[in-house]
């Protein structure tokens, strides 16, 4: 399986775990180029600057992620780059949600080296990999919200993330180096896509996705 042309990004804020994954990849794909990242901004910088990245191995809880928002952003901004979640969270809902948001696989950190190798090999062949003993096919009431969130553009995802942090339109405009009018247009588009009437409802929708509560109710108008 040696191939010096492969390029991987290992994104995790724990250096020891990054090192373990690096060793696994080096044994599986000798000569491959491997870049490590400890935060979401490091991942985006690498994807902007590097050539063709073959795979990103992404932790859900490292700095900048905010639940599934980081995965949403990467899939929207870099749709051709496969992303595999490698997480300590082994709940079926988290695995299902990751796949729905566009991940090519989900590897629980508790699984052994052989399982990790199997998963990576499957994804590199173009398949979707999830643990065989976890049911990720059962639909739930949050599927509609997930589908709506998945339609956001990369910039709209960034705006929603900043709304969730409590930033005002003028602050978002400054951070993104755009006009307030542009931010207002993005907010309007976000509300329309999510099927809500206020920015507060949009933030609640995003926060519930992170918390694992999927329905938007009429009481969320506050």
Domain range annotation of the chain = 7-124, 143-221
Half-sphere exposure of 4 toward its Cβ, with a 13 Å CA cutoff? 1
Helix axes 199-211, 154-164, angle to 10 degrees: 90
Same fold? 7-124, 143-221:
no
Q: Which two tokens stand for residue 5?
A: 């042309």
Q: How many residues does the chain have?
A: 222
pTM of the model: 0.78
In words, the CATH class of domain 7-124 is alpha beta
- Model confidence band, residue 103 (pLDDT cutoffs 50, 70, 90): very high
Q: What is the pLDDT of residues 27-77, one digit of tens each?
A: 999 989 999 999 988 999 999 876 689 999 999 888 877 778 788 888 888
Q: What is the pLDDT of residues 83-97, one digit of tens each?
A: 999 998 888 888 888
Residue 198 has pLDDT above 50, yes or no: yes
Helix axes 40-49, 69-77, angle to 10 degrees: 10
Phi-psi region of 212 (alpha: psi -120 to 50; beta: other; left: phi over 0): left
Q: How far apart are CA 99 and CA 136, in angstroms?
A: 9
Going by CATH, does the domain composed of 143-221 fall within 1.10.10.10? yes
Q: What is the pLDDT of residues 22-31, one digit of tens each?
A: 999 999 999 8
Q: What is the pLDDT of residues 115-146, one digit of tens each?
A: 999 999 999 999 999 998 877 776 666 677 77
Nearest by Cα to 42 from 68, 65, 24, 19: 65
């Amino acid at each position: 399986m040696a191939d010096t042309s492969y390029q991987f990004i290992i994104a995790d804020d724990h250096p020891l775990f990054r090192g373990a994954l690096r060793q696994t990849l080096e044994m599986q794909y000798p000569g491959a180029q491997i870049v490590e990242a400890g935060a979401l901004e490091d991942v985006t910088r690498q994807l902007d600057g590097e050539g063709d990245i073959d795979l990103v191995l992404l932790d859900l809880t490292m700095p900048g992620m905010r639940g599934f928002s980081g995965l949403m952003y990467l899939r929207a901004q870099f749709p051709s780059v496969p992303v595999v979640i490698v997480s300590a969270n082994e709940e079926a809902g988290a695995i299902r949600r990751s796949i729905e948001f566009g991940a090519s696989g989900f590897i629980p950190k508790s699984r052994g080296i052989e399982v990790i190798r199997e998963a990576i090999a499957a994804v590199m062949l173009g398949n979707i990999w999830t643990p065989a003993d976890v049911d990720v096919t059962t639909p739930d009431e949050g599927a509609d919200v997930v589908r709506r969130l998945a339609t956001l553009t990369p910039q709209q995802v960034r705006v929603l993330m900043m709304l969730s942090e409590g930033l005002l339109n003028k602050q978002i405009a400054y951070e993104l180096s755009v006009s307030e009018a542009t931010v207002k247009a993005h907010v309007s588009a976000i509300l329309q896509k999510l099927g809500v009437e206020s920015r507060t409802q949009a933030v609640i929708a995003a926060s519930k996705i992170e918390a694992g509560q999927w329905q938007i109710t009429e009481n969320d108008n506050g």
